[in-house]
């Protein structure tokens, strides 16, 4: 459906000077960085309280670069979980990036594998939402997108390490920092609600997740509820519910 748009890659991006590419990427990354700083600090604080040092925190932020998976990973580590459960949970929590990269691929045709591999590293919920909007609505290109991704990445790494260093000086609950991740997710949910069908599916997912979480121990409720509600969404869409909403969005 978006196939035709994908033929046009990097409109106007080829001859731009590096300075303007870097500036554009940083300017558009700014709201993401602002969102990452308190979350990164919160993560550093929690990781430090779980017994991780700044180097260990920084290494995780560099290697994983995924907020929610890192929070879950640290809580599982401190609960004594092993390699397989942590890696499996991380995989399932981050499987959503499969869709995000699929959507972004439409705008990244004709770019070589090395550059795409570099770009892939920075695909997060926030960079995806920002880049996709910019690709769709402006002459955004992969170079600017890459700068945006890495600017966000640097702010994440630095703030998680800073949280690890400053952790012992920040009392529990200070500045409402424990709520940063939930605030981010609440806003990201709003970004997903592009029509009544998405509102209904999100509500079903939340309800199913609560019910399953009360019955099944562990974190599996997240993936089970998501798979079930996405399937319900597909069936409802195929059955023709909210068709006008879909086309309007």
Q: Does 214 bind other proteins (CB under 8 A)?
A: yes
Tallying the residues shown for the chain, one arrives at: 249
Closest to other proteins by CB, 73 vs 163, is: 73
Closest to other proteins by CB, 213 vs 245, is: 213
* R_g over Cα of the chain: 19
Q: Which window, 11-19, 20-28, 158-166, 209-217, contacts other proteins (CB under 8 A)? A: 209-217
Q: Does 222 bind other proteins (CB under 8 A)?
A: yes
Residue 129 is encoded by which pair of tokens? Answer: 């939402």
Between CA 171 and CA 186 the distance in angstroms is 25
Residue 95 Cα distances to 170, 180, 191, 209, angstroms: 33, 22, 18, 17
Minimum separation from the CB atom of position 8 to other proteins (A) = 14
Q: Does 182 bind other proteins (CB under 8 A)?
A: yes
Q: Which window, 13-21, 70-78, 153-161, 162-170, contacts other proteins (CB under 8 A)? A: 70-78
Between CA 38 and CA 53 the distance in angstroms is 19
Helix axes 54-63, 18-49, angle to 10 degrees: 130
Q: Does 221 bind other proteins (CB under 8 A)?
A: yes
Q: Which of 72, 162, 66, 161 is nearest to 121 (CA)?
A: 66
Closest to other proteins by CB, 11 vs 20, is: 11
Q: Does 78 bind other proteins (CB under 8 A)?
A: no
Residues 42-61 that bind other proteins (CB under 8 A): 52-53, 55-56, 59-60
Q: Which of 63, 93, 72 is nearest to 153 (CA)?
A: 63
Closest to other proteins by CB, 83 vs 169, is: 83
Closest to other proteins by CB, 19 vs 214, is: 214
What residues have CB less than 8 Å from 146, skipping those under 6 apart?
Answer: 25, 115, 118, 119, 122
Closest to other proteins by CB, 20 vs 51, is: 51
Q: Using an 8 Å Cβ cutoff, are 152 and 26 in contact?
A: no
Q: H or E stretch including 75?
A: helix 67-78
Q: Which window, 14-22, 156-164, 226-234, contacts other proteins (CB under 8 A)? A: 226-234
What residues have CB less than 8 Å from 157, skipping those under 6 apart?
Answer: 40, 58, 61, 62, 65
Residues 95-154 that bind other proteins (CB under 8 A): 95-102, 104-105, 108-110, 113, 116-117, 119-121, 123, 125-126
Minimum separation from the CB atom of position 97 to other proteins (A) = 5
Q: Does 190 bind other proteins (CB under 8 A)?
A: yes
Minimum separation from the CB atom of position 107 to other proteins (A) = 10
């Amino acid at each position: 459906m978006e196939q035709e748009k994908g033929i046009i890659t990097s409109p106007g991006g080829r001859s731009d000077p590096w300075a303007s590419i870097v500036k554009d990427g940083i300017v558009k990354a700014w709201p993401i960085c602002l969102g990452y700083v308190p979350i990164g600090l919160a993560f550093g604080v929690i990781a430090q309280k779980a017994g991780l040092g700044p180097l260990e925190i920084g290494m995780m932020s560099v290697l994983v670069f995924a907020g929610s998976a890192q929070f879950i990973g640290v809580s599982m580590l401190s609960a004594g979980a092993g390699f397989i459960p942590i890696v499996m949970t991380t995989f399932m929590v981050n499987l959503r990036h499969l869709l995000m990269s699929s959507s972004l691929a439409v705008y990244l045709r004709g770019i070589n594998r090395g550059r795409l591999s570099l770009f892939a590293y920075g695909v997060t919920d926030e960079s995806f939402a920002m880049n996709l909007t910019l690709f769709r609505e402006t002459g955004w290109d992969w170079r600017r997108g890459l700068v945006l991704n890495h600017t966000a990445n640097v702010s994440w790494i630095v703030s998680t390490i800073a949280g690890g260093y400053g952790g012992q000086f920040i009392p529990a609950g200070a500045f409402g920092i424990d709520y940063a991740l939930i605030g981010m997710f609440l806003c990201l949910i709003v970004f997903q609600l592009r029509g009544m069908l998405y509102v209904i599916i999100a509500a079903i997912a939340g309800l199913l997740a609560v019910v399953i979480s009360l019955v099944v121990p562990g974190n599996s409720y997240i993936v089970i509820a998501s798979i079930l509600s996405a399937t319900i969404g597909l069936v409802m869409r195929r059955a023709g519910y909210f068709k006008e909403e879909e086309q309007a969005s």
